[in-house]
Amino acid sequence: MRPAPFNTLPGDPLPTARAFWLRAEDGVRLRAAHWPAGGASGTVLLFPGRTEYLEKYAEVAAELNAAGLDVLALDWRGQGMSDRLQDNARPGHIGDFADYQRDVVELVVAAQELDLPRPWHLLAHSMGGTIGLAALGAGLPVQSVVFSAPMWGINLRRVPEALALALAGTLSRLGRGGHPAPRTGGEDSFVLLDPFHDNLLTHDGRRWGRLVAEAAAWPDISVGGASNDWLRAALLECRRLAALPPPALPALIVLGDCERVVSAQAIRSRAAAWPGARLLELADCRHEPMMERDPVRSRFLDAAIAHFGAATTP
C-alpha cells in the first residue's frame, strides 16, 4: 500500500486519514483512505456516490471516529484520484457496473490486510448504494448496512426508463458512449454551475460553499455529467438489482423529502420488501443527508451510529 495524496484547503486541520494506492485485478489504480478511531468497536466501509472523492467525507469520518468506529473508503474507478477510464477524463464514465465490484474486492482485501476492527458495517450513499447492494448479494462481509439516498432507480424527470435506455444505447453505438448523456450536465463539475438556491444536494450554505471551493481548488479530482455508457449501465444495474431478493441483514434506509436525483419510489419499494429494514424519511432534506443542515445530518448520523451499535451488541 503505497502512500497517496490527500488534499486540504487553506485553514484545514491536518488530515487524520492515511491515503494509499490499491491496484485492482484489471490493472486500474484506486485511491483509498483509512481514518482510524483508536480502540474502535468496529469499522465502517464507506461507499461514496457518483462524482465524489475521499476528501468530501473527512467531516463524516471524524464523527464516526468520535463514535468509536474506524472508517475505510475509496475513490471509485473513473473518479477522484483513481484512474479514469477514457481519454476524456471529465465525464463520469463506466462501461459495466460489474467493474465496480473489482474495486470492492480491493477495499475488502485492504481492510483484511490492515486488520481493521470487526464487526464491519457498510455506509453507502447514492451510486454507492447501487454498488453496495450488489456487493451484499456477492457476500460483502458486513454485519449491518446504512443506505443514504441509494440509487436503486434514477429520477429521469418524466422520461420513460425504456426511452432513456434506448437513447443511451443508440448514442453508444454511434460512438458517443463516453460523451455526457443528455440532461446530466456537461464536462464541468455541476457545483461550479448550479446556483445554491436550486441545487439538488443540500440546504446548507456552508457545506455547499465547501463543495464549490473544493471543485475550484482540485479540478483534477472532480467529474462532470454522466456518460451515455454510464447511464445505460446504471439503468441496467438498477433493473437487475430490483429483481433480486433482499439480503438477510439489518438495514437502515434513509430518504430525504426533497429528493430529486434518485427514484424515491424505488427506495420505498425496496425498503417495503426488505424484512428487518427500516425506512427513515427526513424532512427538509435533499439528496445528501450527510451534507445537510446540522439538525438533519445529526438525525441521520445519530440513527446510523445507533444502527451500527445495535448490530455490534450481541
CA–centroid distance for 261 within its chain? 13
Residue 7, domain member (yes or no): no
Residue 12, domain member (yes or no): no
Residue 22, domain member (yes or no): yes
Q: Across residues 151-172, what is the average pLDDT?
A: 94
Domain of 164, in residue numbers: 18-312
pLDDT tens digit sequence for 29-40: 999 999 999 888
Q: What is the DSSP string of 16-37?
A: --EEEEEE-TTS-EEEEEEE--
Residue 73, domain member (yes or no): yes
- Of the candidates 272, 298, 93, 291, the residue with the CA atom closest to the CA atom of residue 179: 93
The total of structural domains in the chain comes to 1
Per cent of the chain over pLDDT 90 is 93
**Whether pLDDT at 185 is above 90:** no
C-alpha cell at 192: 461550479
**Whether pLDDT at 80 is above 70:** yes
User: Hunting for cell 446540522 — which residue is that?
Assistant: 294
**Whether pLDDT at 1 is above 90:** no
Confidence of residue 313 (pLDDT cuts 50, 70, 90): low
Residue 76, domain member (yes or no): yes
DSSP 175: I
Asked if 308 and 121 touch (Cβ cutoff 8 Å), the reply is yes
Residue 122, domain member (yes or no): yes
Asked if 147 and 132 touch (Cβ cutoff 8 Å), the reply is yes
| Burial category of 27 from C-beta neighbours within 10 Å (exposed 0-12, middle 13-18, buried 19 and up) | exposed
Residue 39, domain member (yes or no): yes
pLDDT tens digit sequence for 206-253: 999 999 999 999 999 999 999 999 999 999 999 999 999 999 999 999
The SS3 of residue 83 is: coil
At residue 314, the pLDDT reads 53
At residue 184, the pLDDT reads 82
| Whole-number average pLDDT of the chain | 96
d(CA 182, CA 260): 17
**Whether pLDDT at 105 is above 70:** yes
Give the CATH number for residue 219.
Answer: 3.40.50.1820
